[in-house]
Amino acid sequence: MLSGFAAESSSRWPLGRFERVVDVTLEPLLQAAAPHLSTPLVSVASLRHLQALSAGLPRAPVHRCGIECRLGEGLLRTDFCVCVRREGAGRLMELLVQPEGSGGAWVRLARLCTSWRDSSSSLHNHVPEIWLGFDLEGPLVQRPDPVVSLSRLRWKEAVGTHGFSAEVATVCHAACALHSEADAFPINREIIDRCLSHLSPEAVVVHVGALGARRVQAVRLVISVRWQEIVTYLTQIGWPGQLDRVGQLAERYGPLADSLSICLDLGTAIAPCLGVELFPSVAYDNRQEIRVLLDLLVSDGLCTPTKGGQVLGWPGSSPLEGGGLAGRTLSHLKINLRDGCAEAKAYFALAEVRRIRTHPLLPLYRLEVGGDCA
């Protein structure tokens, strides 16, 4: 069972449901969140990385951000991501053209933003958000190369099935252009078509990630799908991983989540690794739902009781200097399958909010983190 869950957090849990989010700079958000991030979930070294990053991106137009925490025993690495909306592309361009942002990865991102701002481009029409992900390990760097995710790609209804594959391929090509020349690779259109042609009508490609910052020659498709369809879908596309393990995870965790996504890496072939994202509902009080998921992770050896308790204690709000609130929610939990091993993570969402709704019958705003490429 979970431990380390403060009683105060129980009464404040509904404060994690927000009505409206506004764009802000990064530093005040992280200052407000820092008191709620502690070991063993977030190490002192990771907090130093976050401080360095906020100093390196002082004027970045952040809509919301995410903190990625590993839940297993002895796993201390924390990663971070920020969301920039299409409307903030101009301000992001101003940041990128500064001399200190002249590294190759940032130059390639600046080129992508130029296309993103063009109202006639496919990127502009189908990519409302971009997430910049940062691996917080190694030497302190104020502006490390970002892992870029083109996000909230809910275009299937707009272009129809006939144009769906072509649009996804276009965005995949844009993601490939973010790789360095040394890590460049040809997009395998046959693999993309195969992965898209077997999607059910309800399935949606929500993110396309470029993994070049990790020197991985692949793009990542994140697909929202029903848990009952996962094994059939992976079989149809010829996924080379352990289907029996995926089936066990889907049956064990799928019924407990409000929605679920899978993460596929596509290069010259489909990679055998897989991510399974578990999203809680936006119910007025979903504490018990999340507790059940975390207890299951603990019993499966994927989460320590102390870290699970810290995850439950994260949601709430903190005042910001000059007014406003820093709202904190749990975006989702994720199980990664790689090389026969499973690893669980929690994704914390953080954003400035103007109002908070606490009535159970009012519509709620889910703060999702979409920059995961790990």
Taking the C-alpha atoms of residue 167 and residue 122, their distance in angstroms, rounded to an integer, is: 7
SS3 category, 330: strand
User: pLDDT of 141-200, one tens digit each?
Assistant: 777 888 889 887 655 544 444 456 677 878 888 888 887 776 677 778 889 889 988 988
> Model confidence at 8, in pLDDT bands (50, 70, 90)?
very low
Task: Compute φ and ψ for 237, nearest 5 degrees.
Answer: -90, -5
pTM of this prediction? 0.88
Residues 323 and 14 sit within 8 Å (Cβ to Cβ) = no
Identify any residues that bridge with 151 across adjacent strands, giving them in sequence order: 129, 207
**Buried b vs exposed e over 339-373: b needs ≥16 C-beta within 10 Å?**
eeebbbbbbbbbbbbeebbeeeeeebbbbbbbbbb
pLDDT score of 85: 87
Taking the C-alpha atoms of residue 150 and residue 36, their distance in angstroms, rounded to an integer, is: 29
> With pLDDT > 90 as the criterion, what percentage of the chain qualifies?
30
> Model confidence at 283, in pLDDT bands (50, 70, 90)?
low
Q: Is the peptide bond before 319 cis (omega within 30 degrees of 0)?
A: no
Taking the C-alpha atoms of residue 64 and residue 350, their distance in angstroms, rounded to an integer, is: 6
Indicate whether 120 pLDDT > 80: yes
pLDDT score of 22: 75
SS3 category, 188: coil
Indicate whether 19 pLDDT > 70: no
Q: Which of 66, 77, 49 is nearest to 367 (CA)?
A: 66
Straight-line distance from the first to the last Cα atom of the chain, in angstroms, rounded to the nearest whole number: 27
User: pLDDT of 70-103, one tens digit each?
Assistant: 999 988 889 999 888 888 887 777 776 654 545 6
Residues 146 and 132 sit within 8 Å (Cβ to Cβ) = yes
> Model confidence at 371, in pLDDT bands (50, 70, 90)?
low
Indicate whether 2 pLDDT > 80: no
Sign of torsion, CA 113 114 116 122?
A: negative
Taking the C-alpha atoms of residue 292 and residue 210, their distance in angstroms, rounded to an integer, is: 33
Query: Burial level of 140, CB count in 10 A (0-12/13-18/19+)?
Result: middle
What DSSP letter does each residue of 191-209 carry, written as one string? HHHHHHHT--TT-EEEEEE
